[in-house]
Amino acid sequence: MKFCSLCGGPVALQIPEDDNRERHVCQNCGAIHYVNPKVIVGCLPTVGDRILLCKRAIEPRYGKWTLPAGFMENGETSADGAARETWEEAAARATDLTLYRIFDVPHISQVYLFYRCGIENDEFGIGPESLESALFSEEEIPWDELAFPTVRELLKEFLRDRQVGEYPVRNTVIEYPRR
């Protein structure tokens, strides 16, 4: 950030009074501009024993398979955002959403929230960010074509949880070595 969104003045990184970390502070009006993590919300939709995946029509990972997910919007709950993303990417109406998985990814300032859900009337299609969508049994999941490591981890845990019939909410911190 170079300029204040309130007055247009220059901003500088400094530690404000009564704070403990650097923030973008306007050198004219003194406004403190906080930069906070992005929240990604998504669903793990199932129909019977099959999982709905979408093939990405956008970068990053164009042409790779993933779960319907994206950035949470202002003014919506995380469950509402996950359901919206499922509609936008898979033309599926998510039902019975239950929080299932949290990933904290501090090195890119992101938090992922995934919900287990069903699909209304078992109907799905494609949205503008997907090339196709399809239901996959455990044996059919395209493991080598998955877009993101978080999706791979989530699917493996879900398949293990499904075997025992218990779906605990888990939270994992994904750390990458600093360079």
pLDDT digits (tens, 9 = 90+) for 59-115: 999 999 999 999 999 999 999 999 999 999 999 999 999 999 999 999 999 999 999
User: All domains of the chain, ordered by start, with CATH?
Assistant: 1-35 (2.20.70.10), 38-173 (3.90.79.10)
* Helical H segments across the chain, by residue range: 78-90, 149-164
pLDDT tens-digit series, residues 108-166: 999 999 999 999 999 999 999 999 999 999 999 999 999 999 999 999 999 999 999 99
**Closest to 89 in 3D by CA, of 146, 42, 151:** 42
- 136, β-bridge pairs: 51
Report yes or no: 79 and 116 within 8 Å, Cβ to Cβ: no
Strand-pairing partners, residue 134, are 53
